[in-house]
Chains A and B, each alone.
Chain A
């Protein structure tokens, strides 16, 4: 029963090796804590993200819509699948203990069109009461909201879906280079002549065919706030709305207060491209708030081979980002959307329900199903797992991958511990011989080794848990970059004592099991041989 004393003494004697092994195991434990935290944080936050921005915890939908929500890769026919949600139903839902909010929603898909008819992007338009929106989808990231609204404005304010990477303008909007020119050969020569003729003061007459000098002059013209005044009248004799709009924009900027040079260059580039549309590529229209737009969607009921779309005049009042990578939802107030779609007072596509506790999803779902059945309604209740079928594979895939890596680290610990004890057995043969001669059995000495490993792993666990927790805390505070699935591409970690404990429970048995292999050699040692060797 003096074994613990021997363990401590032995550790003191071989502290150099013990220290190295402790550092190594501590690093592995820190890595395991980190990976477990990453695994759970990714999964939990990803699930929370789609619940908080897209699906809510539960939704009541039309039976055919339920099938489409469970299998988002399936195509649904045009026209809305509507349910009746009257005051009784909404009162019942809001009265259930654990329900934070229940919001009727109209969800439809369509396109944003700019005034000239060009498509700016497609979206899923979610019509929801603005107060309900915040309660049901608290994870929506709403930004750049413009509060200044004209009360007589007829355009419906819309929170546009987050700008996707392919919508970002990747070319310079404030300069003209060779890449902007649509012409070559004789057409380019003709364009050069036209440009020199239209704006003689920017081009030197003796430049001849020097292309780079021509481009420099063209580029220099962009900086002039009064460039629009130089547009020859002959270009305006035939009405061209693009040119008129470009001139108006340039005039507003040129005659107005002093503004940024890049903005002047941008409107002048637009002006030149409107003036010479065959020669200069059009400048991509940036996505701006406050400009009149159109949302075009299919008719909710009338389905024909060719039918008139429903056109809603809108204005982007801000941005709402739901799921990065997959988030295509824009938001508007439910009533105007219902008016344009001519839906009845109680007609909706779904009722989204947010709960206080995710653990109560199944019980509340069952209660709602019972209520609907009692009223003879065929509508279906879906939970976030069914509605998140399109998102969960990513989270599951990453979880499985990280689990494999945790296993890899445990295997690394096993290998390193085995090596360490193997060496110790070789190195300490004389010591083993001595203690055996003094009456200690090989079994007791094997226990001594295991005791040492227990102490080393426990000390390493404290250090590793501390280190791992610090790393997790850093990522909890600043977020892990490069995670494109989350807002700002940052994954924020959640520290949990469970991860620290799990790391210990994974590593300790592994290390003890690993130690058994070399320790079994000690058990096979013949005292006589060891003593002879010692002499």
Chain B
């Protein structure tokens, strides 16, 4: 094995011009494919950190009503799920925060769809979210205040998206009425005051209608009691592993509050990335098509190269090399070139992605924002993309070795020697 590896290395450099062609082709293709997959990863990352991050800030663990997960799986409607909350969440937060692996615990609300009545006009389907002031890093870190100030703590304070300033014609200090019905169907008409406008750090048109209010105000809009919250999100310290802490907290919660349960984040919050998921599927299908054509190209180049290296193969035979040994050696040679090329492609892709991310291509065009998943182009890297890409190129190598080497190694040593003598 070591000998074939050694010879494969030597052959790569002995035939560097030919190796270079395959190397360039594979590098180019893996760079482009990597950038495509990065774009798709970036769309999803933008969406997850932007709009989804504001609604359901990513956390390590989530505390919910004990029956919430089962009821959702059983297909129970929002009317019934909305009633399943974490009661006495403040006392519970304190207990959970006391665990040494826990970094932060904060309440997360569900959006309440209600209207906003301002200057004699009513706007429907505004989404109201509550924040607990002082324990709201998950919101503060994701937004920028464009006018006015962040929520002061007054129960009637509202923080609106900057686009609402023009769309609704509201200003800081304006009195507005939140109208419609609570989560439990009671009529709702409560006076609020606009305290400021924000922009999400990763903006998307779908975030435009999210309005923040302190938990006390959210209680008026949603119909929840003061000490009631739909979920508690738990962030762990970096060095902590989530599974043991999950088990530890499950035991703790069983004793202090059997009405709640703690889960992994992904079990509770399933992200709705339908469109971006569909685009990713299309991209992956097309990478398959490219890999298929590239496979033929590489097979062609390899078999042509080997035909040209007939004398070399003949010499190996004369020196006592077996067919199996030569197959192994040439397969290793192709594998090394392809692997090195795909690594180079990925590195170039990573560099290109970091340069493009560094330049920070931002757009105010809403159409482009929808395509990017946010208001900036983000090229992200995921392990699955790298595995997919490397796996595809290894498949190219394996197919090439399987179908090209067999015929190319059918060289008669006598003929090869005669050719060498000439």
Q: Please give the distance in Å from A289's CB to the nearest CB on chain B.
A: 21
Tell whether, in the assembled complex, residue B17 and residue A422 are in contact, meaning their CB atoms are under 8 Å apart: yes
Residues of A within 8 A of B367 (CB): 389, 392-393, 396
Residues of chain B within 8 A of A24, CB atoms compared: 296-297, 300
Q: Mark A61-91, 1 if CB is under 8 A from B, else 0.
A: 0000000000101111111000000000000
Does residue B322 face the partner (Cβ distance < 8 Å to A)? Answer: no
1/0 per residue, CB under 8 A from A, across B102-131: the answer is 000000000000010100111111100000
Would you call the interface of chain B mostly helix, strand, loop, or mixed? helix
Does B75 count as interface, using CB distance less than 8 angstroms? yes
- Say whether B318 faces chain A, with CB atoms less than 8 Å apart: no
Q: Which residues of A contact B66 (CB under 8 A)?
A: 184
The complex places the Cα of A212 from the Cα of B86 at a distance, in Å, of 30
Given known A-B contacts A306-B179, A325-B274, A404-B32, A426 and B21 have beta carbons under 8 A apart: no
| A483 contact from B73, B209, B282, B286, Cβ within 8 A | B282
Taking A305-B117, A305-B179, A394-B370 as known contacts, 17 extra A-B pairs with beta carbons closer than 8 A to each other, sorted by chain A number, are: A109-B124, A171-B75, A281-B75, A282-B77, A284-B75, A298-B122, A305-B189, A325-B275, A389-B366, A393-B370, A398-B279, A402-B286, A408-B32, A409-B293, A418-B21, A422-B21, A482-B282
B382 interfacial by beta-carbon distance below 8 Å: no
Set of chain A residues within 8 Å of B290, measured between Cβ atoms: 31, 405, 408-409
User: Does B262 reach chain A (CB closer than 8 Å)?
Assistant: no
Tell me the minimal C-beta distance from B302 to chain A in angstroms.
Answer: 10
CB distance from B132 to the nearest CB of A (A): 27
> Does B350 make an interface contact (CB < 8 A)?
no
Cβ-based interface call for A523 (8 A): no
CB within 8 Å of A: which B189-247 residues: 189, 205-206, 208-209
In the bound complex, residues from chain A placing their C-beta under 8 Å from that of B301 are: 416, 419
Contact residues in A for B289 (Cβ distance below 8 Å):
31, 34
Give the distance in Å from the alpha carbon of A78 to the alpha carbon of B120 in the complex.
Answer: 10
A484 touches B274 (CB 8 A): yes
Which of A169, A420, A482 meets B304, CB within 8 Å? A420
- Tell me if B326 counts as interface (CB < 8 A to partner A): no
Q: Give chain A residues whose Cβ lies under 8 Å from the Cβ of B283.
A: 401
CB nearest neighbor in A for B177: A305
Q: How far is the CA of A405 from the CA of B187 in the complex (A)?
A: 55
Q: Indicate if A23 sits at the interface (CB-CB under 8 A).
A: yes
Contact surface of A with B, Cβ cutoff 8 Å? 16-17, 20-21, 23-24, 27-28, 31, 34-35, 71, 73-79, 109, 117-118, 165, 169-171, 179-180, 182, 184, 281-282, 284, 298, 303-307, 325, 389-390, 392-394, 396-398, 401-402, 404-405, 408-409, 411-412, 415-416, 418-420, 422-423, 426-427, 482-485
Q: How far is the CA of A281 from the CA of B68 in the complex (A)?
A: 12
Q: A67 — nearest CB in chain B belongs to which residue?
A: B167
Using A482-B281, A484-B274 as known contacts, say yes or no to A23 and B296 having CB atoms under 8 A apart: yes
With A303-B120, A305-B189, A394-B275 already in contact, the answer to whether A169 and B75 are too (CB < 8 A) is yes
3 nearest A-B residue pairs (beta carbon): A73-B205, A393-B367, A77-B121
> A75-B168, A298-B124, A393-B367 in contact; A23/B74 too (CB < 8 A)?
no
Q: Which residues of A contact B71 (CB under 8 A)?
A: 182, 281
For the complex, is B18 an interface residue (Cβ under 8 Å from A)?
A: yes
Q: Which residues of B contact A20 (CB under 8 A)?
A: 300, 303-304
* Chain B residues, Cβ within 8 Å of A325: 274-275, 278
What are some 11 contacts across the A-B interface (CB < 8 A)?
Answer: A20-B303, A71-B366, A75-B168, A75-B209, A171-B73, A304-B122, A325-B274, A401-B36, A409-B293, A416-B297, A422-B17
A420 to B120 alpha-carbon distance, docked (Å):
75
Q: Which of B22-30, B87-95, B143-151 faces chain A? A: B22-30
Residues of B within 8 A of A76 (CB): 123
A16 to B308, CA, bound (A): 12
| CB < 8 Å neighbour of A408 from B29, B168, B285 | B29
Q: Give Cα A118 to B187, complex, Å.
A: 15
Which residues of B have CB within 8 Å of A71? 366
CB nearest neighbor in B for A422: B17
Chain B residues in the interface with A (C-beta under 8 A): 17-18, 21, 24-25, 28-29, 32, 36, 39, 66-67, 70-71, 73-77, 79-80, 115, 117, 120-126, 163-164, 167-168, 177, 179, 185, 187, 189, 205-206, 208-209, 274-275, 278-279, 281-283, 285-286, 289-290, 293-294, 296-297, 300-301, 303-305, 307-308, 366-368, 370-371
Give CA–CA (A284, B80) in the complex, Å.
12
Q: Which residues of A contact B75 (CB under 8 A)?
A: 169-171, 281, 284
Q: How far is the CB of B385 from chain A (nearest CB, A)?
A: 15
B370 contacts which chain A residues (CB < 8 A)? Answer: 390, 393-394
Q: How far is the CA of A79 from the CA of B164 in the complex (A)?
A: 18
Closest chain B residue, CB of each to CB of A109: B124
CB distance from A485 to the nearest CB of B (A): 7
Chain A's closest residue to B36 (CB) is A401
Nearest-CB residue, chain B, relative to A407: B32
Contacts of A298 in B (CB 8 A): 122, 124
The interface residues of chain B lying within 8 Å CB-to-CB of A485 are 278
Query: Given A78-B121, A415-B28, A426-B308 in contact, is the A180-B17 Cβ separation under 8 Å?
Result: no
The chain A residue sitting closest to B43, CB to CB, is A397
- Min Cβ gap A218→B in Å is 15
Q: Complex: how many Å from CA A212 to CA B179?
A: 48
Q: Is the CB of A78 within 8 A of B124?
A: yes
- B208 to chain A: which residues have CB within 8 Å? 73, 75
Q: CB-nearest residue of chain B relative to A181?
A: B70
A78 to B164, CA, bound (A): 15
Give every chain A residue within 8 A of B25 (Cβ-Cβ): 412, 415-416
Complex Cα distance A408/B305, Å?
23
Q: How far does the Cβ of A297 sit from chain B's closest Cβ, in whole Å?
A: 10
Is there contact, CB below 8 Å, between B74 and A405? Answer: no
Inter-chain contacts of B206 with A (CB < 8 A): 73
Give A123 Cβ to nearest chain B Cβ, in Å.
13
B300, A416: Cβ atoms under 8 Å? yes
- How far is A24 from B302 in the complex, measured between Cα atoms in Å? 13
B76 touches A282 (CB 8 A): yes
Chain B residues, Cβ within 8 Å of A426: 308
**A28-B293 contact given A306-B189, A394-B371, A482-B281, CB 8 Å threshold:** yes
What are the residues of chain A within 8 A of B205 when measuring CB–CB? 73
Flag if A423 contacts B305 (CB, 8 Å). Answer: yes
CA distance A182 to B205 in the complex (A): 38
Contact residue among A118, A179, A411, A422 (Cβ-Cβ distance under 8 Å from B70)? A179
Looking at A20, A304, A415, A419, which has the most chain B CB atoms within 10 Å of its CB? A419
- Contacting residue for A419 out of B18, B29, B126, B293, CB 8 A: B18
Write the chain A residue with the least CB distance to B124. Answer: A78
Give every chain B residue within 8 A of A397 (Cβ-Cβ).
279, 371
Please, how many angstroms separate the alpha-carbon atoms of A398 and B280 in the complex? 11
Closest CB in chain A relative to B294 CB, distance in Å: 7
Which B residues are in CB contact (< 8 Å) with A401? 36, 39, 283, 286
Q: How far is the CB of B274 from chain A (nearest CB, A)?
A: 7
C-alpha gap A452/B22 in the complex (Å): 23
* Contact between A118 and B77, CB atoms less than 8 A apart: yes
Instruction: Report the minimum CB–CB distance from B200 to chain A (whole Å).
Output: 14
Q: How far, in Å, is A337 (CB) from chain B's closest CB? A: 18
- Contact assessment for B74 and A281 in the assembled complex, using a CB-CB cutoff below 8 Å: yes
B73 touches A78 (CB 8 A): no
Point out the residues of chain B lying under 8 angstroms from A412, CB to CB. 25, 28-29, 293-294, 297
